[in-house]
Amino acid sequence: MSLRKLLMIKYWYKQFSQYPPDHPDYWRIRLIEHSLLITTSYFIILTLINLFYFEGYQYALLDGSGLVISLGIYYRFRSTGHVKITAWAVTLMVASLIMLFVISTKGYSHSLFWATLIPPFSFFLIGRTWGTFISCICFSVCAFLVYLQTQNPQPVTFSKGSLFNVIEVCVAQILLFRFYEKTRFSAYKKLALRNLEIQKMAETDKLTGLYNREKLDFALDTLLTTPAANTSMTTETTNAIKQTDEAPIIYQPYADDHPLTNHQTTQDLLSKQAVTQYPISVAIIDIDHFKQINDNHGHLIGDKVLCQLAQLLQNQMRNDDLLARWGGEEFVVVLPNTTLADAIELTERLRLYIAMQNIKGMELTISLGVAQYRLEDSAHSLLDRADKALYSAKSGGRNCVAAA
Ligand SMILES: Nc1nc2c(ncn2[C@@H]2O[C@H](COP(=O)(O)OP(=O)(O)OP(=O)(O)O)[C@@H](O)[C@H]2O)c(=O)[nH]1
């Protein structure tokens, strides 16, 4: 059994349905609940210590009042869920009780230490502006107390009270900053995950889950404008561009001795970089007569066909290939380390493979246009040549591969 359960602390924390974890006030609520738990526990302990150990009834009364106020705020907060009012109430309660204690002891017995708790409380709960304001007032009072002492200097004594004050404040500070660090870490983590989600959404085609056209354009531009890309396409380069955290499961359709399966290591590629150019090819894939599928079976079935075809194509890709939906019923695949001849062979296999599949009860065919990167090419001109090749494939009767 965990300590939290043992002390029944978990019952202290209420899950407000109106403040889910992604609500801006979520962590403020956690802090209010933590703070009230800490103040309540502190006031219970201090009341008992002052009553039975120091027999300081005046301080025990002060701590007892703090305990009642703390529980009152907690009860009200649980029943109303008012964050702003509670945050102010907690801050004012903590600040005024600390200052009452510091003033009543005239700063003796290291009671001034307690004032150091005011900035963390007030800044976390009521924000920078009001936190600064309240901290300044409290510290001004502390400075004034010290000034008064300088008018009539007394020798400083270290009592047991000093020891308790120092220890209690240190423990409270550590707890507060642990909490602060936890919220900060959680907020950054959430932000990083959100950014990843947004980035993924921005580069993914909603329907098929493949990369979208923006991502393809960016990846191709990066490949072709990276100096190394003109001479060497390494596995690392393409993987960095893909930036994919969940690498697709690759089904290797080629024979073991096929040149495309013999991936060279990065080291091999780099060592050859100076003397060899590593080719890049692209292929545009277009479904034949897709309009008829929509017309005969409806757009929803058409969508399902697109999704299944996308999955089948993705399963046929090699690690370094980058498949994207270009728009409508067209897909583009970027083939690093692939000559035009290899790209033709590869896409021909792909065409035959798709022609053999049963997709939503239909037999589909695809036409493909292939082009290899030339030094004078831009991403646009490369795709344009592949598109022209696709046009030839279409006008050549469809269900075939044409190269530019
Ligand atoms: N279901 C569905 N259809 C789409 C989507 N995007 C484009 N289309 C359809 O794809 C069809 C493309 O038709 P066309 O450009 O005439 O091409 P095609 O019928 O495949 O003929 P060819 O390419 O010449 O073989 C149109 O009917 C579009 O409405 C989509 O996201 N979902």
> What digits encode the pLDDT tens for the residues 92-137?
998 998 999 899 888 888 899 999 999 988 998 999 999 999 999 9
Assess contact for 324 and 213: CB atoms under 8 A: yes
Output the residue whose Cα is nearest ligand 1's atom 7. Answer: 328
Strand partners, 204: 211
Q: Which two tokens stand for residue 301?
A: 């079935």
Cβ–ligand 1 distance for 326 under 6 Å, the answer no
- Averaged pLDDT score across all residues of the chain: 85
What is the CA(144)–ligand 1 centre distance, in A?
81
- pLDDT tens string 292-336: 999 999 999 999 999 999 999 999 999 989 999 999 999 999 999
Dist CA 60 CA 76 (whole Å): 24
Percent of all residues in the chain with a pLDDT value above 90, rounded to a whole number: 56
- pLDDT tens string 158-215: 888 889 899 989 998 998 898 889 888 888 998 899 999 999 999 999 999 999 999 9
Cβ–ligand 1 distance for 303 under 6 Å, the answer yes
Pocket test for ligand 1, best of 213, 289, 290, 297 (most atoms within 8 A of CB): 290
Q: Angle at the Cα of 84 (from 83 to 88), degrees rounded to 5?
A: 115
Check residue 3 and give its pLDDT.
64
Dist CA 404 CA 399 (whole Å): 17
Alpha helices in 25-56 (DSSP H): 26-48
What is the CA(224)–ligand 1 centre distance, in A?
30
- Position 275 pLDDT exceeds 70: no
Q: Which CATH class is domain 213-403?
A: alpha beta
Alpha carbon 301 to chain centroid distance? 35
- Position 23 pLDDT exceeds 90: no
Mean pLDDT within 255-269: 38
Query: What distances in angstroms separate CA 325 from CA 211, 213, 234, one per listed residue?
Result: 6, 6, 24
Q: Which two tokens stand for residue 275?
A: 């003397």
Check residue 109 and give its pLDDT.
81
Q: State the span(s) of the chain assigned CATH 3.30.70.270.
A: 213-403
Task: Classify the complex by whether its ipTM is higher than 0.90, answering yes or no.
Answer: yes
What is the CA(208)–ligand 1 centre distance, in A?
15
Q: Quick one: pLDDT band at residue 5, thresholds 50, 70, 90?
A: low
Cβ–ligand 1 distance for 289 under 6 Å, the answer yes
Pairing of strands 401-403, 322-327: unpaired
What is the CA(83)–ligand 1 centre distance, in A?
54
Dist CA 191 CA 183 (whole Å): 12
Check residue 231 and give its pLDDT.
46
Phi, psi (rounded to 5 degrees) for 218:
-65, -45
What is the CA(366)–ligand 1 centre distance, in A?
12
Residues 336-374: b if buried by 16+ CB within 10 A, e if exposed: bbbebebbbbbbebbbeebeeeebeeeebebbbbbbbbe
Strand partners, 332: 284, 324
Check residue 269 and give its pLDDT.
41
Check residue 270 and give its pLDDT.
38
What is the CA(130)–ligand 1 centre distance, in A?
61
Residue of 29, 100, 33, 102 whose CA lies nearest to 70: 33
Output the residue whose Cα is nearest ligand 1's atom 31. Answer: 328
Letter for the amino acid at 229?
A
Cβ–ligand 1 distance for 286 under 6 Å, the answer yes
Pocket test for ligand 1, best of 213, 309, 329 (most atoms within 8 A of CB): 329
- Position 362 pLDDT exceeds 50: yes
SS3 state at 399: coil
Residue of 123, 101, 122 whose CA lies nearest to 168: 101
Assess contact for 120 and 177: CB atoms under 8 A: yes
What is the CA(330)–ligand 1 centre distance, in A?
9
Q: Which two tokens stand for residue 108?
A: 């003796």
| Residues recorded for the chain | 404
Strand partners, 401: 368
Query: What distances in angstroms separate CA 172 from CA 71, 114, 200, 251, one per listed residue?
Result: 18, 10, 42, 58
Dist CA 201 CA 67 (whole Å): 50
